[in-house]
Amino acid sequence: MGQTVFIPRELDANEPRVAASPDTVKRLAGLGFDVIVESGAGTASRIPDEEFAKAGAVIGKAGDVAKADVVLKVRRPDETELKAYRPGTAVIAIMDPYGNDAAVDALARAGVTAFSMEFMPRITRAQSMDVLSSQANLAGYQAVIDAAAEYDRALPMMMTAAGTVPAAKAFVMGVGVAGLQAIATARRLGAVVTATDVRPAAKEQVASLGAKFLAVEDEEFKAAETAGGYAKEMSREYQAKQAALTAEHIAKQDIVITTALIPGRPAPKLVSAAVVASMKPGSVIVDLAVERGGNVEGAVPGQVVTTSNGVKIVGHLNVPGRVAASASLLYARNLFAFLETLVDKTAKTLAINRDDELVKATMLTDGGLVVHPAFAGKPPVIASAEPAKPAAAEKPAAPKKAAASRKPAAPKSPANKSKGIA
């Protein structure tokens, strides 16, 4: 009997996605794995148990995770789930470790080898494994669909015998993967689209989609992108200049979509309450960063708020999960592409090469230790301690010190409770 991959049903009621598809189940079997899918795991993603079974999976129960060599998940397992995991099990998921030190310690104490898929490096080799891009792409699309539903008016210009319906004006703030898809979707629906970003490369990308670019293009703007392709956090001076430029523009918009996120940090505030108050009644703002504190003042996680001047601020959680059937298919392919690199094709067994650049970038815990350089070396968080402050999680430990100070996360400490990820 080969090694076993287990795909559980996500316990979070707000998580409809699943970490496998019938296609990836077939491919996993081709790599030599026995695949067990927990009954009901794919129901919310429109994949019934029968489809997994036809692809070669065994439909099992939650307790079957004890047999697993590999666990594929969407969200980080909580402490209750980890109790059933065998030490040494490879767990691949979106771990959301920033600000969740207690949960990271729990993974280490469980002895699992945890991989955080959102740390996948942005290199050519890893493009097919980039969960942030695959899920953000769908989030950008869904943001426009949600905005159109709340706007309750036509987006394209329509010339009819009864008169002309003007095109909606849409403004996208943050032109990463989500922002680009939002621009493209809004354009396809007929809106007049403008967009802004702090990265110089975004200007050409926006223009290529037929939208107009808006930004303060000073010297700081020219150096506002990291080597990994992410936006840097801008100075307060730049943020003030950019805010002044966009404030007047936003007042004239029908739809605003904000997507600005900085890895490991709270979302930057882009739209103040005063700017929201300047918008026309019936305007809509969709805040895709609401789970990280939000880009919009007044946004409430999980709610659609209507302000006193009639502006709707949409703060849906887990936006990719709102198109779960599509999101799960892409996410499952991301996981398979990564897991395939961890397999010895000749022996058809798991063979993790800890010197591989993808493993180094994504491995969070291993052998009872927190090993990722951004988190290793921190004192263990116990249940009776005060919650870790976000700022502490944002500052990576120096790599040399981390290597010297890796310690097991106090195995005799009481179990820690962790929060589910966004």
**β-pair type (34-38, 58-60):** parallel
Report, in angstroms and rounded to the nearest whole number, the Rg of the chain calculated over CA atoms: 23
On the 0-12 / 13-18 / 19+ scale of CB atoms within 10 A, 243 is middle
3-state helix, strand, coil in the chain (%, to 5): 35, 15, 45
Contact 8, 81 (CB under 8 A): yes
Distance between CA atoms of residues 342 and 260, nearest Å: 33
Distance between CA atoms of residues 107 and 85, nearest Å: 10
Q: What burial letters (b/e) apply to 311-327, b meaning 16+ CB within 10 Å?
A: bbbbbbebbbbbbbebb
Which active-site residues does the annotation give? 122, 127, 130, 133, 230
Question: In this structure, how many other beta carbons lie within 10 angstroms of the beta carbon of residue 239?
Answer: 16
Residue 208 host element (H or E): helix 201-208
Could you give the maximum distance between any two Cα atoms of the chain, in Å?
77
